[in-house]
Structure 1
Amino acid sequence: MKLTELAILYQDKLNQLYEEEEIQSLFFIALEEVLGYKKTDYIIKKQETVPDTALLRLNNILLGLTKGTPIQYIIGHTEFYGLKFKVNPAVLIPRPETEELVEWILSVCNSRFVAENQNISQSSINIIDIGTGSGCIAIALKKHLPKAYVSAVDISSAALATAKENAAINEVGVTFIEDDILNYSESYASKFDIIVSNPPYIKEKEKAEMHENVLANEPHTALFVSNEKPLIFYEAIADFALLHLKKDGHLFFEINANLGKETIQMLGAKGFTDIRLRLDMQGKERMVSAQKPPQS
């Protein structure tokens, strides 16, 4: 089978599940995974006959895709902020909008803790990521702030096992802690400059708006909250931050785009200052930062 015929096969088998442009994207991800070909290579070599062993792997990927399995789970990895991460059904697949959150945190660290105050070194920055999942936020931050102390918390031992593998793959040292932020047991004696979290925030009633392959494959405990208490994790983490942030420390959240106003109101009611809402690349209200009040 030629590459061009394989591309047609992917379109035919997946056109009930995905839009044409997304199918092309999936095909090129599969092609790069198996043959190391990028889109430009395909254009040049599309009349090539695919070797049997490669064809078998490409057909197996296609089979998984027809069942609705995300391609990241099929091939076992994805890219986040220029780094490679292992993923599996124990962890959420990192999203592009979360890269924007990492970028925001890095900009704050580089300006506030380095540029504005020369007597504060990068090594003094203490960061904790709550609900780390694959470890993508914590690991990306550590990779770009190599002297900072970074720790990461998750309730899932399976998720933490994956996150530890990802830290090793990316050659960074992150301290991983198994704990439940709704009922945490650790003492957390140290104070943090940055607390960041991308916690569960999708209300149960919003399931109908989601793609079936997300609902069928990704861990629901990392996605969903009740309709009655959609900010349960944000409130708990905000309370944790009041106790464990340093004076003027920063709290960062990825949020439900439909709950920006409510999240800001909650943080304001708890006394946080300099509350800022940011839009993601699609124009959705997706990120919030706040500072711990100086007097607390």
Structure 2
Amino acid sequence: MTPPPPPAPPRRGRFAPSPTGPLHFGSLLAALGSWLLARHAGGEWLVRIEDLDPPREVPGAAEAQLRTLAAFGLVSDGPVVRQSERGALYQAALERLLAGGAAFECHCSRSALAADGGIHHRCRAGGRRDTPAVRLRVPPGSTVAFEDAIQGRCAQDVHAEVGDFVLRRADGYWAYQLAVVVDDAAQGITAVVRGADLLDSTPRQILLQRALGLPTPAYAHLPLVLGADGRKLSKSLAALPVDGDDPLPALRAAWQALGQPPAALRGAGSVPAALAAAQAAFRPERIAPGPVPAPVIVPAHALE
């Protein structure tokens, strides 16, 4: 008798902010969208702090981000993971790649790669560094295609467009691409939901998953939020923090930016009521792939 197939892993999503400042509306949109898609599938939702780049981090920002998420009712279903504490996992993965020849030490400087548009296909002659970068070897023909739940079919020739990419930087810090792949696998993430600004990173991450023998999660890239200047909100002057002391206006605006009907939350007078109504009314197919303008968020007291 043929044994039954193993059960599918539970749906598990995550939100992974970098502690470079307070949460702005684009961050809230990513958090709410990932939470709603996880809940819609009956799954779990985790929070991971991506504190890999100390020079860019703001002291106290991670704690402030967690407090803001809690004010919006978005609380991790498990312990909050911090990448700064997971270096041993990244080192073990890197050693596997080096031992198998999939990764290599690189002494090239940025200026040495400038002639090739910053794309690394071979190491240039030059001085050796005491702490070289480590790159993933990306041979010709490394085209990755995947189906994004929101953006549709996506494909990238990683060799031609990106080249051999960094796994550990020359300054000793871990690269985002390696850390996110290792952590998504270690945490059992089955669906990666994030902003469309990270769509370009996905083919690299899929290549790295294959090199490490790790599963590839489903992907959904949410629409970008643009300021009035047409720039991504995190880089715009309009990237003001969302107000955790008055969460409902921003929560309703994020719900609408995800293409959901405003009327569904109109009668909700509290965050728990709004999230319950959102879960009941949420339809993933309403999320549009294109960018959305940053809303004008009117504080609740201004409407009284």
Alignment TM-score > 0.5, same fold: no
Output the TM-score relative to the length of structure 2: 0.30
Query: Normalising to structure 1: TM-score of the pair?
Result: 0.31
Q: Which has the higher contact order (CA 8 A, sep 6+)?
A: 2
Higher normalized helix content (fraction of residues): 1
